[in-house]
Amino acid sequence: MKGLKLRLIILVILLLGAVFSVYAAWREEREGILTVAFLDVGQGDAIYIEAPSGNQVLIDAAPNKIILRELSKVMPFYDRSIDVVLATHADQDHVGGLPDVLKKYKVNIFMEPGVPGPSSSYEEAEKIAADDGIKKILARRGMNVDLGDGVVLQILFPDRDPTGMETNTASIVVRLVYGENEFLLTGDSPVAIERYLVSLESQSRTFGTGAVQSPTLASDVLKAGHHGSKTSTSQEFVSAVSPQYAVISVGKDNRYGHPNQETLDTLNNFDAKILRTDLLGRIIFKSDGLTLKKTK
């Protein structure tokens, strides 16, 4: 009996040592590094962000429970909290897995544009958030989410109450900034909103130093709007963003024919390296604030 107890004690010590080693390696790997992962969720969107501070953001939550599998690939197994969950808009391919995320993870803040959609998942997520006392924030231009250690999430759109807008049109557009590196994440924003954002940037420049300066659109990485549909990713917008990389979150052999060849041609015309989740799976970038690297 004593031998069994001793073996159990040794086993517990070994397990604790293994857990500590994993945690220490994770902390060392994360130090000073921003991770942005475009998750492989089929025909939908889900973007996981982890700042060097350890603060985490999930932008959109896939069409279904696949989000939980994908999160388990980029988060430590013992981590059961996400600081901010942001739903760009209320369509099923962006919020279908949101109820599952809210049930499994402790979420501090839930951000959304404030325009309901037909998805029952959206209604369920709203109820869970209210029942659990999760702080809800309606995202508006001018807001900044400080993730610590110099990482900031800038809200670029909506710049007004979007009530009455179509869900895609009301999509939250955010720009993630860490030192010299930026990511522009556009939800399903259509060309009309892209052009509006370009006009806001132009107005700021025109008015000069006396004006309130709008955040620039220029970014290293552009998440192409609406899964590469021809309704987004206009030449004017891509020119303003001037991305080194363009990520298209899209399902293999999807029934919509995404990404559209016109969109691919536009991105190629501006020498953006196109990365597609249907071809590459999960796409992960890491930045130390100076250098941006795509990792496997």
Q: What is the pLDDT of residue 33?
A: 98
Residue range 78-92: mean pLDDT, rounded: 97
Phi-psi region of 136 (alpha: psi -120 to 50; beta: other; left: phi over 0): beta
The whole-model pTM stands at 0.88
Residue 146 has pLDDT above 60, yes or no: yes
- Residues 234/225, Cβ–Cβ less than 8 Å: no
Distance, CA of 222 to CA of 189 (rounded, Å): 12
Q: Whose structure tokens read 């399903």?
A: 188
- Residues 157/189, Cβ–Cβ less than 8 Å: yes
**Mean pLDDT, all residues of the chain:** 91
Of all residues in the chain, what percent carry a pLDDT higher than 70? 86
Q: What is the pLDDT of residue 206?
A: 52
Structure tokens at 57: 């953001």
What is the DSSP-derived secondary structure letter of residue 135? Answer: E
**Nearest in space to 288 (alpha carbons), one of 30, 103, 93, 60:** 30
Q: How far is CA 208 from CA 196, 203, 278, in A?
A: 19, 9, 43
**Contacts with 50 (C-beta within 8 Å, 6 or more apart), sequence order:** 30, 34, 35, 56, 57, 74
Residue range 69-95: mean pLDDT, rounded: 97
Q: What is the pLDDT of residue 203?
A: 81
Residue 204 has pLDDT above 70, yes or no: no
| pLDDT: which is higher, 219 or 30 | 219
Q: What is the pLDDT of residue 156?
A: 97
Q: Whose structure tokens read 């025909």?
A: 43
Q: What is the pLDDT of residue 235?
A: 97
- Residues 275/268, Cβ–Cβ less than 8 Å: no
**Contacts with 294 (C-beta within 8 Å, 6 or more apart), sequence order:** 245, 275, 283, 284, 285
**Contacts with 20 (C-beta within 8 Å, 6 or more apart), sequence order:** none
Give the confidence band of 213 by pLDDT, cuts at 50, 70, 90. Answer: low
Structure tokens at 126: 């709203």
Write out pLDDT tens, residues 225-264: 999 999 999 999 999 999 999 999 999 999 999 999 999 9
Distance, CA of 1 to CA of 122 (rounded, Å): 55
- Residues 54/201, Cβ–Cβ less than 8 Å: no
Residue 3 has pLDDT above 80, yes or no: no
Write out pLDDT tens, residues 19-59: 444 444 444 455 799 999 999 999 999 999 999 999 999 99
Q: What is the 3-state secondary structure (H, E, C) of 155-209?
A: EEECCCCCCCCCCCCCCCEEEEEECCEEEEECCCCCHHHHHHHHHHHHHHHHHHH
Q: What is the pLDDT of residue 25?
A: 45
Distance, CA of 285 to CA of 182 (rounded, Å): 11
- Residues 107/79, Cβ–Cβ less than 8 Å: no
**Contacts with 173 (C-beta within 8 Å, 6 or more apart), sequence order:** 88, 155, 156, 157, 184, 185, 186, 187, 189, 193, 197
Give the confidence band of 202 by pLDDT, cuts at 50, 70, 90. Answer: confident
**Contacts with 254 (C-beta within 8 Å, 6 or more apart), sequence order:** 42, 43, 227, 278
